[in-house]
Structure 1
């Protein structure tokens, strides 16, 4: 069981951050991931495995605004 953006999620098997993002239709280069209150480097998404009790926040960039 992990918590993602405040909601509990059950993982069927251990997955990396990249695998989780792709399974949820996120584009890894368009998000920032906070794992257990620390922003993790995008270069580590492929090697960081989510485990029971982890708290994940996924922040997605949005376009818009004016100059």
Structure 2
């Protein structure tokens, strides 16, 4: 039985453990400081308070955007 799944994060295929919540995936990518971070799954923005409830599925396309300051 396969314990992993393939998803796309910022246009890059990534192999992750199956049955992970979005929050775990995001924290694995950026660390636990999620200030200024927006996340979309399959083109739909997911509010930060729902990351802990959102189950990531095989072939999901995740976009992680970090806001930056500048001028």
Classify the TM-score, shorter chain: 0.7 to 0.9
Gaps of 5+ in 1: none
TM-score for both structures, normalised by structure 1: 0.83
Structure 1 equivalent of residue 9 of structure 2: 4
Q: 4+ residue stretches of structure 1 with deviation over 6 A?
A: none
Q: CA deviation at 1:59?
A: 0.7
Aligned length: 65
TM-score for both structures, normalised by structure 2: 0.79
Gaps of 5+ in 2: 1-5
